[in-house]
Amino acid sequence: MFKLILQLLYPKRCGACDLPLLESENFLCTACRIELPKPGLFLKRPNWLSVKFDGLFPFSDVHAFFLFSPGSKVQHLMHQIKYKGQRDLGTFVGAWCGAHLKNNIQMISYDLIVPIPLFPKKYQERGYNQAACIAQGIHEKTQIPWNDKLLHRTGQSKSLVGQNRVSRYETLTDVFKVTNPEPLKGKHILLVDDTLTTGATFLAAAEKIKAAGASEISFLALAALK
């Protein structure tokens, strides 16, 4: 009864459209689960995602679970995960993405998931890294191990506004640091982040992971901007 009153007073809301959820629904409403734009994983190359990296880095795969557009439900969802403390929503959606990954046989080539780290100051303010929550969700469905203790951000980078994609990439490269290369050596690493826009962050992190001895690198963003 008490639970019912609480639900009436403070209804759980959908992380994407913000409408109240039914008792049987968790995190996202049924309509959003069906309708949120999902471009598909393991797209044939070249595709709209791979062109962000082609010619800049020898990567293996690039995936985006959702298509991101300004003002969309996906943007609202990402905002909840990043800025509204909804880490469990991040893990839930990560697990959903993991379930789709698991349906593809190529998935088995990934040895280790490494989430893109936050700047230490941002981590302290937020209390969690949303990319790590997503990585944990993917792990829950695929059993691919994940580790957020290998790659770090060493400081705040200069503003990237107005720079082209090559200089963005160069500016960011020194921001990442591998502190323990051993678990990366000879492995196919799946780098995971919440949002993919230009790809500069993935490229800069990949450069350091590769230098640490990884044999292959792939990228997965929960949402990507076309």
In the complex, the residues that contact Zn ion under the rule CB under 5 A are 14, 16-17, 29, 32
Beta strand pairing call for 62-68 and 112-115? unpaired
Residue with Cβ nearer Zn ion (73 or 139): 73
Give me the least distance between CB of 61 and Zn ion, in Å please: 29
Closer of 14 and 151 to Zn ion (Cβ): 14
Q: Measure Cα distances from 150 to 26, 143, 146, 184, 185 in Å.
A: 32, 19, 10, 8, 12
Give the whole-angstrom CA distance, residue 131 versus residue 194: 5
Least separation in angstroms between residue 14's CB and Zn ion is 3
Comparison of 32 and 209: residue with beta carbon closer to Zn ion: 32
Dist. CA 79–CA 102, nearest whole Å: 26
The residue among 16 and 97 lying less far from Zn ion, judged by its C-beta, is: 16
- Could you tell me the smallest distance in angstroms from the CB atom of residue 25 to Zn ion? 9
**Beta carbon nearer to Zn ion, 17 or 99:** 17
Q: How many CB atoms lie within 10 A of CB 188?
A: 17
In contact, 178 and 209? CB cutoff 8 Å: yes
Least distance CB 1 / Zn ion (angstroms): 27
Task: Count CA atoms closer than 13 A to 92's CA, side-chain side.
Answer: 17
List the beta bridge partners of residue 115: 192
What is each CA distance from 223 to 40, 89, 175, 193, 201, in whole angstroms?
Answer: 11, 14, 23, 9, 14
